[in-house]
Chain A
Amino acid sequence: MSNTILEINDVQKSFGGLKALSDLNLKIEEGKVHAIIGPNGAGKSTMLNVCIGQLAPDSGTVTFNGENMIGKAPHEINQAGISRVFQTPEIFPDLSLLQNVMIPAFAKREGAFKMNIFRSLSNESDVQDEACQILTDIGLIGQLHTNAGSLSRGDKRRLELAMCLVQHPKLLLLDEPTAGMARHDTNKTIDLLMKIKEGGMTKIIIEHDMHVVFSVADHISVLAQGTIIASGTPDEIKGSPKVQEAYLGGAHL
């Protein structure tokens, strides 16, 4: 058995009277693709928000690589090695695609703050090459100098994925990376995810598209009403009657 990279212990989070997460326990193994599925409102996104420091849990701990993540600022959590793709793409709409990818690459190289006023961006060929490589992989190399704001929604998602991949995070959180994509693009994204899987990057993926989940996941956890109701390999989950009832509702797989 490999190392546990992320451990969520007894995490509770309520919004007013609504219990979004109750006694959530989850262990993510290093190098695996771990899919989280569950009905709408099950607390999937809330869980990710807690992991990246966007939300503070009411109680419980989140440990990443043996380090406590609770109470850390979002940038510290990112610097520790966690990157996230959001449900609605968070990109830099006023910057070019190249700059969009170069910025996270700089964060990885230079840390949370560096004053480099007397270097020209056009001379940063290392970072530029790295960014171009990722943009080629993701299929957006043709629009290097267009403003990211003018991209289609699907392309924005892909760009955001590129922005996370360029950081080579230890843990990549993907919140519905293929939502709103055509089947053709979804397949391309699956290919890409499979490709980076070989790089040994750990991934947590939240996804409604079962085609994607069963193509890429090594391990699946089912979240319902803020707690994990089942966890196992894709085959185990497919066969579990509990899951069928709670989430899949008899959907053919």
Chain B
Amino acid sequence: MKTPTIKQDMLVMLIFSVVILTMPLWLEPLGANYPDLLQKFAIFGIFAVGYNILFGLTGYLSFGHAAFLGIGSYTAVWSLKLLTMNILPALLFSVLMSGLFALLIGFITLRRSGIYFSILTLAFAQMFYNLAYSVLTPITNGETGLQLARDDARVIDRLFSEAGEGLPSTDFFGLAMSGYSGFYICAVLLIIAFFISQRIFHSPFGTKLRAIKSNQTRMKYTGYSTRPYLLTAFVISGMYAGLAGGLMAATDPLAGAERMQWTASGEVVLMTILGGVGTLIGPLLGVGIIKYFENIFSALNEQALHQAFAFMPDWLANIMVFLTSPFVGEGWHLTLGALFVLIVVFLPGGIMQGIDLIKKRFSSPSKNSKTEHTSSEARLEKAPENGQ
């Protein structure tokens, strides 16, 4: 567990940027390169990367992060309604607003740890969810969801031009937020978000967060006030969620309360665990898999299966279609659930642990035997000590 040098980190960033920016190319064979889905990959990527800063580094399992997603969305839509259709102020306000709420919620919930912390965060998120439907309807527009209207104030836009016919669309200084340009804006933000997360992971601050996860008692007797560290991590991850929520509203200017429901909070937990808690890339793999299942796998029907098994004799193909059909289409949850169970049981470290295992298997055998040798030597050395 050696901390990578700056050079190694920069190399990772370079590869990461290339992989993300070329997503429309390499996702084509998988049938997942349409802009809507690509945007979702990037947006949920930001959400999961931020969530991992809290859960992965400090071990505090928040079940209420969707609240910040919702707060970000509502704030962004209000900015689009009142100020301008440019997404820059919308995103800035989403990040700030969710950061403020994270500060408040974190201040209260971080007084407890473990399951109590999880329940407290869940309670807050559900509270926001229900308030959005009831007391806060003037702000959230209740069940209809907060939408743009033609006669919104948009004071900044009005300085430059009259209100046009029909609904205006969101943009970033002229770049449309729909289609591929929208994806590239989200992708650049994801790369920045990932970069910040990488810096946190490999900074003294991030190491201290991991030390808190490892042994909070020792941390206190080592002279650290752990609460401010946890609160900072909580606020940062809340701001990431706010950015993701803001981007959701920027790509599709409609904010509904269902974004804050506990299932949405649970989804990001699943993504993180599936990919690998506390690893840099893991949560993004989790996002990719879950969003792929949700959007592509769920669209497979029996016809597609018949095509896939067309190379088999008819009777065998029919059996195969019969066996596999419950797992695709509307049954995609079943496949995902089974996959999740398998991963958690056999690879508690998520997909990243699996990748590590494969790496070890394929690294040179001579090196492996050498490490085994030294470790057995070390054991021999320690043997008399343990015997005491």
Contacts and interface: CB of A to CB of B under 8 A. Distances in A.
Q: Is the interface of B mostly helix, strand, loop or mixed?
A: helix
A90 to B, nearest CB: 4
B303 interface: no
A113 B223 contact: no
A113 B228 contact: yes
Nearest to B378: A143
B223 A153 contact: no
Nearest to B197: A117
B356 interface: no
Given A78-B222, A91-B218, A154 B211 contact: no
A73 B199 contact: no
A47 B386 CA distance: 29
A228 to B, nearest CB: 25
A182 B384 contact: yes
Interface in A88-142: 90-96, 99, 102-104, 106-108, 110-124
A90 B221 CA distance: 10
Given A102-B207, A104-B223, A123 B386 contact: no
Contact of B388 (A74, A118, A124, A180): A180
Contacts of B222: 75, 78, 83, 103-104, 107, 163, 167
A53 to B, nearest CB: 9
Interface string B210-225: 1101110111111111
B246 to A, nearest CB: 22
A112 B220 CA distance: 9
Interface stretch (B1-9, B93-101, B359-367): B1-9
A108 B196 CA distance: 26
Interface string A200-219: 00000000000000000000
Given A113-B224, A123-B6, A152-B385, A95 B1 contact: yes
B370 interface: no
B2 A112 contact: no
A94 B210 contact: yes
A153 B4 CA distance: 29
Contacts of B202: 120-122
B111 interface: no
B116 interface: no
B385 A145 contact: no
A114 B205 CA distance: 7
B353 interface: no
B381 to A, nearest CB: 9
A155 interface: yes
A74 B220 contact: yes
User: Which has the most chain A C-beta neighbours within 10 Å: B205, B222, B388?
Assistant: B222
B370 to A, nearest CB: 15
A111 B228 CA distance: 12
Contacts of A32: none
Contacts of B207: 95, 99, 102-103, 121
Interface in B50-77: none
Contacts of B214: 92-95
B259 interface: no
A145 B4 CA distance: 12
B28 to A, nearest CB: 37
A155 B386 CA distance: 11
Interface string A44-62: 0000000010100000000
User: Which has the most chain B C-beta neighbours within 10 Å: A52, A79, A113?
Assistant: A113
B223 A78 contact: yes
A115 B235 CA distance: 13
Given A103-B207, A120-B203, A96 B221 contact: no
A181 interface: yes
Nearest to A79: B223
Given A78-B222, A113-B229, A180-B388, A119 B204 contact: yes
A84 interface: yes
B130 interface: no
A65 interface: no
B205 A115 contact: yes
Contact of A52 (B1, B210, B221): B221
B70 to A, nearest CB: 26
A84 B218 CA distance: 10
Contacts of B384: 182
Contacts of B4: 122
A147 interface: yes
A182 B388 contact: yes
B232 A115 contact: yes
User: Which has the most chain A C-beta neighbours within 10 Å: B196, B220, B384, B386?
Assistant: B220
Contacts of A83: 221-222
B208 interface: yes
B185 interface: no
B62 to A, nearest CB: 20
Given A90-B218, A92-B215, A96-B1, A112 B203 contact: no
12 contacts: A75-B222, A78-B220, A90-B215, A91-B218, A95-B207, A99-B211, A102-B204, A103-B207, A103-B211, A152-B385, A154-B382, A163-B222
Interface of A: 52, 54, 73-75, 78-79, 83-84, 90-96, 99, 102-104, 106-108, 110-124, 145, 147, 152-155, 163, 167, 180-182, 185
